[in-house]
Amino acid sequence: MDDHTLIPAPRTIHPAPARSAPSALTPATTLHTTPDTEPLAALLRATVGAATGLGLSAGDAGADRVVLRVDPGIARRHGPEGYRLSTDRSLEDVAVLIEGGTPAGVFRGMQTLRQLLGSDAFRRAPLHPPRDARWELPGVTVEDAPRFGWRGLMLDVARHFMPKDGVLRYLDLIAAHKLNVFHFHLTDDQGWRIEIKRYPRLTEVGAWRGRTKWGHRASPLWDEKPHGGYYTQDDIREIVAYAAERHIRVVPEIDLPGHSQAAIAAYPELGNTDVVDTAALSVWDTWGVNPNVLAPTDTTLRFYEGVLEEVLDLFPEDVSPFIHIGGDECPKEQWQKSDVAQDRIRELGLAGENELQSWIIRHFDTWLAARGRRLIGWDEILEGGLAPGAAVSSWRGFGAGVAAAEAGHDVVMCPEQYVYLDHRQAAGEDEPVPIGFVRTLEDVYRFEPVPPQLGPEAAAHILGTQANVWTEVMENQSRVDYQTFPRLAAFAEVAWSALPAPADRDFAGFERRMTAHYRRLDALGVDYRPPAGPLPWQQRPGVLGRPIEGAPPNR
């Protein structure tokens, strides 16, 4: 069946025999679940039920049922997120049958059901009275499973804070695209966004900056309005629970030893006090690589152990097996000038500042492993030697990921050249605050996460892939939407579907399916970039970006 509009594309989709009676959801449709799938009933009623106005009340008999159940055989054949969806009444006398290898697989099948129902199934309320509604379904059988177990989106809420409701909305959006990892970038030089009760100044001071650079850091423009915000611990618990209901893992990021000026502004003793007057530092108000990094002291180690103790309590192991500690863009100049840092290097017998950073990363790798978690960091954690159990987010191209995989480390591929969604989507001057490389929808669609030079053993260490959304020039939800969509739809297909080699991918076919998908995004209220270019209110005329093709942009 070549005329489907599903995104991401399924492994197989077969039409029902012509003799099969058509399926539909009607006011008589009931919902049958098992103990494994009962928690999914509320989600189906909150999405499909809300959009259609149908009650989908519980029911065990009748041909109008929607049946959700787990089939261990699917897990054996296709893995835990595999599923089989059928609206073919000749196979089983129900309106819709969704079977998954686990409840997560059933949930992925539910997203396919929404797409089969049409774009109005993505609305929050019915457009017409539901009394006599009949929601027709094509007669099909879909068998599907993801290519990668890690299909992620990283959202930076440190540079520009996104209120809790916006985060919950993004969890719904990534779930609708069958992504399953939410990388939550919570701390940076420009803001600390998570409440830590034993260190209240992290949010009292570190969550707020006095003004904000408007555009690229070379821009002469400033937004003089104070900016900030943070998530209370109960907010975090709500976000984590919301993600878990949608079978999304959450990877919290607490950045160290670089990207830490917000923490140092709150607690000056964390910085290199013998080199810099850290008491005079405030939360950073511009962009780029910051020279103010954490001091390699026992005080710093104990402080961040205290932070991480509360983080581990807020992000339980079943939802958050990985903890991201950043590790990127840590200038070494202050350590080179610091007697304290140089004494630590000599005390530990290290070769220099790169090994000093590695010592910090290894400390937290050991600390996290003792508590049943795994450390993951940006690929700079390879410098000076990588901790044995650590995983790598390969962002500076593919080289670091290749080296890590060949050395036996797990890797998430997120090279900026393809999947940094803050980069501009076209070369036109009307792109809002143009940053970095031009990466079009087609460029993202032709991204291949597994480098061809990897042998089978090393390729098995590629956990999957992730798109990253850095928000320096995204001041609100609308700007995040514009940069993220529609490219996230292309990325989702790369991460989920078994696509051919990049040059052989049917981008024209994907664009045809996107015609239907734009209507879904409209129904979801996503302020995406239209195919013809930005609308007038999506532009930012006169705000300086960094449109340098071929030069890697500093975050």
CA distance 345 to 352: 7
Nearest to 22 by CA among 142, 141, 136, 132: 136
Which residue is associated with the tokens 């030893």?
257
Nearest C-alpha neighbor of 227 from the set 197, 202, 193, 201: 193
Q: Select which of 160, 227, 247, 259 is catalytic.
A: 259
**Is 259 part of the annotated catalytic residue set?**
yes
The encoded tokens of residue 551 equal 């030069």
Q: Report the first-to-last Cα separation within the chain, whole angstroms.
A: 44
Task: Please check whether residue 151 is in contact with residue 178, taking contact to mean a CB–CB distance below 8 angstroms.
Answer: yes
Question: Going by C-beta distance under 8 Å and a sequence separation of 6 or more, which residues neighbour residue 469?
Answer: 153, 154, 155, 156, 421, 422, 480, 483, 484
Q: Which of 16, 20, 23 is nearest to 1 (CA)?
A: 16
Cα 49 from Cα 135, distance rounded (Å):
11
Task: Using the structure block, give the residue that is written with the tokens 């999914």.
Answer: 40
Residue 506 annotated in active site: no
Residue in 81, 144, 156, 188 annotated catalytic: 188
Establish whether 269 is a catalytic residue.
no
For residue 220, give every residue at least 6 positions away whose Cβ sits within 8 Å of its Cβ, in sequence order, or none.
544
State the Cα–Cα distance between residues 314 and 303, nearest whole angstrom. 17
- Where does residue 175 rank: exposed (0-12), middle (13-18), buried (19+ CB within 10 A)? buried
At residue 470, φ and ψ (nearest 5 deg) are -95, 135
Q: How many Å apart are CA 15 and CA 311, to the nearest integer?
A: 48
Q: Which two tokens stand for residue 364?
A: 């937290």
- Using a 10 angstrom Cβ sphere, with 0-12 exposed, 13-18 middle and 19 or more buried, the burial of residue 171 is buried
Find the catalytic residue in 36, 136, 172, 329. Answer: 329
Give me the active site residues, please.
Answer: 188, 259, 329
